[in-house]
């Protein structure tokens, strides 16, 4: 294991998430109006965060991830006066208890796992906060085994899917967002109880397009408080291709077969599996 990583309860974390912080997650005090933006890494977290930030009537503050930093984190999170939107890559079981008790609103983002694997591979290569990886083949094996930060994609998604019918949880998919951003932005605003006009929605679609966001990274990079992913605050590492189906350029036919077999096995009771199936 590399020095930039450590294991907590069997799951790999970045050392930027201190063990002490991870150990005290249950002491986090949620507010009833908090919104949690939850995802497995590389699912489109920055994108949805940007959508929420651009809702004119939202009056929210996007905070850094709950699991980033040390124990002083909870004090820092208390200093936000506006409604907090708090990103995290935690699995359901690790999510602080108080968030569950208060039934805070949670948006869980999903993306087809083959594209996530490819996106994650590039993140590992480009991000100095992650160990270096030589080849796609090497990363593919780690991803399959869940030997990557935040653990197995399967376990993560299944942990959240169990709660997908709870009325405080909204599931948004990367692929649906791509296909029909207006419709999905509307879903988000309705879920958050916010009114937006059609022209405001069009504005949000435009401002959160991949090109627009990629072109604005230089500007936003200056703000260290604008960290959405606990694995880096460097937004230049985030906007790579922004496409659906890029996995086809990486997976060999054998890798596809091995992946599909594991997918079928792990996801046999999953309803979400059907959605991902459309992209494999």
- List of residues contacting ligand A3P (CB under 6 A): 39, 41-47, 115, 119, 122, 208-210, 213, 229, 238-242, 246
Nearer to ligand A3P, 47 or 92 (CB): 47
Minimum CB separation of residue 126 from ligand A3P in Å reads 10
CB of 272 to ligand A3P, least distance (A): 17
Identified catalytic residue from 46, 89, 122, 156: 89
Shortest Å distance, C-beta 71 to ligand A3P: 25
DSSP string covering the chain, please?
Answer: --TTEEEETTEEEETTB-HHHHHTGGG----TT-EEEEESTTSSHHHHHHHHHT-TT--EEEPPPTTSBSTTHHHHHHT--SEEEEEE---GGGS-HHHHHTT-EEEEEE--HHHHHHHHHHHHHH-TTS-----HHHHHHHHHHT-SBT--HHHHHHHHHTTTTSTTEEEEEHHHHHH-HHHHHHHHHHHTT----HHHHHHHHHHTSHHHHHHTHHHHTT-GGG--BTTBS-GGGT-S---SSGGGGT--HHHHHHHHHHHHHHTTT-SHHHHHHTT-
In whole angstroms, how close is the CB of 142 to ligand A3P at the nearest point? 17
User: Smaller CB distance to ligand A3P: residue 97 or 243?
Assistant: 243
Nearest to 255 by CA among 122, 154, 106, 118: 118
> Closest Cα partner for 43 from 156, 147, 125?
156
Min dist. Cβ of residue 201 to ligand A3P (A): 15
Nearer to ligand A3P, 146 or 242 (CB): 242
89 as an active site residue: the answer is yes
Give catalytic residue positions.
89
């Amino acid at each position: 294991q590399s020095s930039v990583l450590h294991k907590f309860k069997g799951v790999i974390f970045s050392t930027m998430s201190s063990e002490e912080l991870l150990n005290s997650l249950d002491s986090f005090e949620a507010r009833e109006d908090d919104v949690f933006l939850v995802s497995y890494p590389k699912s489109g977290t920055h994108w949805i965060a940007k959508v929420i930030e651009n809702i004119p009537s939202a009056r929210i503050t996007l905070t850094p991830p709950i699991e980033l930093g040390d124990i002083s984190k909870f004090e820092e999170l208390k200093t936000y006066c506006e409604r907090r939107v708090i990103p995290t890559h935690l699995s359901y079981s690790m999510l602080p208890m108080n968030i569950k008790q208060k039934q805070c609103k949670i948006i869980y983002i999903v993306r087809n796992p083959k594209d996530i694997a490819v996106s994650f591979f590039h993140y590992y290569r480009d991000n100095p906060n992650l160990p270096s990886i030589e080849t796609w083949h090497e990363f593919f094996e780690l991803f399959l085994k869940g030997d990557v930060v935040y653990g197995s994609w399967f376990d993560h998604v299944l942990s959240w899917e169990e709660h997908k019918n709870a009325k405080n949880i909204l599931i948004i998919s990367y692929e649906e967002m791509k296909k029909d951003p207006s419709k999905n932005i509307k879903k988000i605003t309705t879920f958050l109880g916010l009114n937006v006009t059609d022209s405001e929605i069009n504005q949000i679609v435009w401002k959160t397009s991949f090109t627009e966001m990629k072109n604005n990274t230089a500007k936003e990079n200056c703000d260290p408080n604008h960290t959405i992913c606990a694995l880096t605050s460097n937004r230049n590492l985030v906007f790579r291709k922004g496409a659906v189906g890029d996995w086809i350029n990486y997976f060999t036919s054998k890798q596809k077969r091995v992946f599909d077999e594991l997918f079928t096995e792990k996801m046999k009771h999953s309803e979400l599996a059907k959605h991902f199936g459309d992209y494999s």
